Amino acid sequence: MAAGVTIYDVAARAGVSIKSVSRVLNGEANVSPALRESVNTAVAELGYRRNLSARSLAGSSSSIIIAMVDEALTIEHWRSGRGNDYLSRLELGLLMECRQADYYLMVELVDYGAATLRRDLSAMLAAIRPEGVVLTPPNSDHPVVLDVLDEAGVAYARIGPERDLDRGVRIRMDERQAAEDITRHLIELGHRRLAHIAGPSAYSASRLRREGFEAALRKHGLAVDESLILEGDFTFQSGLQGVERLLALAERPTAVFAANDDMALGALQGAAAAGLSVPGALSVAGFDDTPSALFSTPALTTIRQPVAEMAAAAARRLVPTLRGEMPRSSDLNEETVPYQLMVRGSTGPLA
């Protein structure tokens, strides 16, 4: 069987040297068609596939892409027994792209809070020697991480970066504009008293979404009322509590835009608990389009963030074949992917 087939076997079968086999496999120039042909035949016949370890040990390219996953977040998910939808979609995109480019995907936990982060990271990079790594928010902007990667000469793609916009490959979505769009959608439905349940201000996504919310209000001549802007922590619970506080106000809002779906779902439940019909008495909008957004009653109006596409784009730009083809100008290392406003049942005019 294919187990144990080495480059020597292929070379012997094709009657050439191992170097020639290597050349064909790597698509190097100056190989005669005849040789290429016979090598390819031998490879196919033997079901040969190059050994990953040998390749990365001998050469400079390892064909490994690492998805760096926040350890603290993972432990939290572990404790709660829940999955991580964002990460799952991200990985989906990476996997699809890796398959195309014949790359391998490795997932690594990183303790971004560790005092030894710098050392941990560089040791990890030395151990695995990845060809590229993919960074996710909010760590796409982590200065130590970027520095270590630069020092190690490892290419990296940053999903949703906000700072240092000249470093690495950047894959972005216009969160500010998306938030503005969904807020405008609410305004156009006739709402004049809009509330926002923001995310933790440590996340730049939270800030941008809030900015978009406020910008939409201003553009439509509505005042920004600080008492209608609450800070949650991206959890269902905080959405629930947020809406409870909002509904306790003397002058209730008629529409709520939550900075993510989990909080919006919490708000939805809070509204139901308070006996308010949605969207008759209160409109609720979210952000992310998590699976649950579709399953709630009513289904949640939200912004569909193309996480998988962003990840695929990230991986694509880390693969050297493509990278080599384009100028290394830093402008071209940036890609902005389109979002989508998903209007569903949770938003509408007042009944």
Give the residue with the Cβ less far from DNA, 57 or 294: 57
DSSP conformational letter for 23: H
The 267-296 contact track toward a second copy, x by CB under 8 A, reads -xx--x----------------xxxx-xxx
Tell me which residue has tokens 């979210």.
Answer: 286
Minimum distance of DNA from residue 134's CB (angstroms): 23
Our CB check for a second copy shows the closer of 193 and 304 to be: 304
Residue 335 backbone phi and psi in degrees, to 5: -135, 130
The length of the chain is 351
Most distant CA atoms of the chain, gap in Å: 86
Q: Residue 16 in contact with residue 40, Cβ under 8 Å?
A: no
- Listed ranges 29-37, 66-74, 107-115, 178-186: which one lies at the site for DNA (CB under 7 A): 29-37
User: Hey, which residues between 67 and 96 contact a second copy (CB under 8 A)?
Assistant: 69, 71, 74-75, 77-78, 81-89, 91-93, 95-96
Q: Minimum CB separation from DNA for residue 10, in Å? A: 8
Contact call for residue 34 and DNA (CB under 7 A): yes
211 binds, among a second copy, DNA, none (CB under 5 to 8 A by kind): none
Stretch that binds a second copy, among 10-18, 30-38, 107-115, 164-172 (CB under 8 A): 107-115
**Region from 33-41, 104-112, 188-196, 225-233 binding a second copy, contact rule CB under 8 A:** 104-112
Structure tokens at 95: 């996997």
Say whether residue 19 binds DNA (CB under 7 A): yes
Per the DSSP assignment, residues forming a β-bridge with 302 are: 342
Backbone phi, psi, residue 154, to 5°: -95, 130
Nearer residue to a second copy within complex by CB, 102 or 188: 102
Q: Collect all residues with Cβ–Cβ distance below 8 Å to 65 and sequence separation of at least 6.
A: 94, 98, 103, 104, 105, 106, 130, 131, 132, 133, 134, 315, 318
41 binds DNA (CB under 7 A): no
236 binds a second copy (CB under 8 A): yes
Closest CB 42 distance from a second copy, rounded Å: 14
Q: The tokens of 48 are what?
A: 């040969």
Q: Does 336 bind DNA (CB under 7 A)?
A: no
Collapse the DSSP code of 303 into the 3-class scheme (helix H, G, I; strand E, B; otherwise coil) and give the result. Answer: strand
Kindly state the tokens that stand for 16: 């050439």
Q: 87 touches which of DNA, a second copy, none (CB within 5 to 8 A by kind)?
A: a second copy
Which residues, 155 to 194, sit near a second copy by CB under 8 A?
none
Q: What is the DSSP letter of 7?
A: H
Cis peptide before 253 (omega within 30 of 0): no
As measured in angstroms, the least distance from the Cβ of 83 to a second copy is: 3
Residue 152 phi/psi, 5° resolution?
-80, -5
- Nearest approach in angstroms of CB 332 to a second copy is 26
232 vs 201: CA distance, rounded Å: 9
311 contacts 92 by C-beta, under 8 angstroms:
yes
CA–CA gap between residue 188 and residue 109 (Å, rounded): 44
Window 52-81: contact mask with DNA (x via CB under 7 A)? --xx-xxxxx--------------------
* DSSP designation for 300: P
114-153: contacts with a second copy (CB under 8 A):
118-119, 122-129, 148, 151-152
Residue 41 vs 201, nearer CB to a second copy = 41
Residues that bind DNA (CB under 7 A): 4-8, 16-23, 25-26, 29-32, 34-35, 48, 50-51, 54-55, 57-61
